[in-house]
Amino acid sequence: MAGASFGGHAFAEPRLLAQALTHRSAGSPHYERLEFLGDSLLNLIVAEQLYARWPKADEGAMTRARAELVRESALAGVARGLDLGARLTLGPGEMKSGGHRRDSILADALEAVIAALYLDGGFDACRQAVLPWFEPLLAALPPLHRVGKDAKTRLQEWLQARQLPLPVYALLGETGDDHDKTFRVGCTLAEPAAASEGSGSSRRAAEQAAAEAVLAGLQGT
């Protein structure tokens, strides 16, 4: 991997990047040790940003915001934006089952790449490469008072505050192979009468999307 680079960083030791992009199904060395280190580095980078950007936030709010930013689905989304899946080295079984598209593998590999950046170039170089990946997520964080409350919780609180019936969620359908399903869920309110649909890679994610759509209608956003 002579001349290997990632995120604008040219690796002095390409073997680090190669290891970070190698799943255990493809043999050793693979990315799991790097993933361990990268997880801590990412938490530090994100925590540092939240501390600087939210001078009035307490520990709880910053902890919840960090959890939103470093959860598996968020990391997988960042990895897809970097087309990381196309660069992974997987064993035949994982290749056949679409491992390069799986959230868990993409998230783990992204953390491993972060560790490789750190080991190769130091913390400043790592942070410089990583921050642009997460800037859209940082910018899209909800207002401070809503951080950590998902759409289903916010919808429930909105209804309870007005002593209205709770929403009903129903699975409307699912498509795709077992390893790459998309779920479609409906969210219905009796009062005020409202209904919306949402989709996601899990039933829970689809419920959240449906609740967000109903909330948007209720709040006129």
How would you write the pLDDT of the chain (221 residues) with one tens digit per residue? Answer: 444 889 889 999 999 999 999 999 999 999 999 999 999 999 999 999 999 988 888 888 888 889 889 999 899 999 999 999 999 999 999 988 888 889 999 999 999 999 999 999 999 999 999 999 999 999 888 666 555 567 898 899 889 999 999 999 999 999 988 777 899 999 999 999 999 999 988 898 899 899 989 988 887 64
Decide if domain 151-219 falls under CATH 3.30.390.10. no
Binding-site annotation, residues: 35, 108, 111
Binding-site annotation, residues for Mg(2+): 35, 108, 111
From the candidate CATH numbers 3.10.20.30, 3.30.70.270, 1.10.4030.10, 1.10.1520.10, the one assigned to the domain spanning 5-143: 1.10.1520.10
User: Quick check: is 191 catalytic?
Assistant: no
| Cα–Cα nearest to 61, from 125, 172, 145 | 145
* Options 68, 94, 111, 212, the catalytic residue: 111
Q: Do domains 5-143 and 151-219 have the same CATH topology?
A: no
* pTM (2 d.p.): 0.68
Helix pair angle (151-161, 203-219), 10° resolution: 40
**Cα(first)–Cα(last) distance of the chain, in Å?**
49
* Options 39, 68, 120, 207, the catalytic residue: 39
Strands 182-189 and 194-200: antiparallel
Domain spans of the chain, in order of start: 5-143, 151-219
Number of helices followed by number of strands (H, E) in the chain: 9, 5
User: Quick check: is 180 catalytic?
Assistant: no
The tokens describing 40, both together, are 């801590």
Q: Are 13 and 116 in contact (CB under 8 A)?
A: no
- What are the C-alpha distances in Å from 52 to residues 47, 49, 60, 136, 138? 9, 5, 15, 16, 12
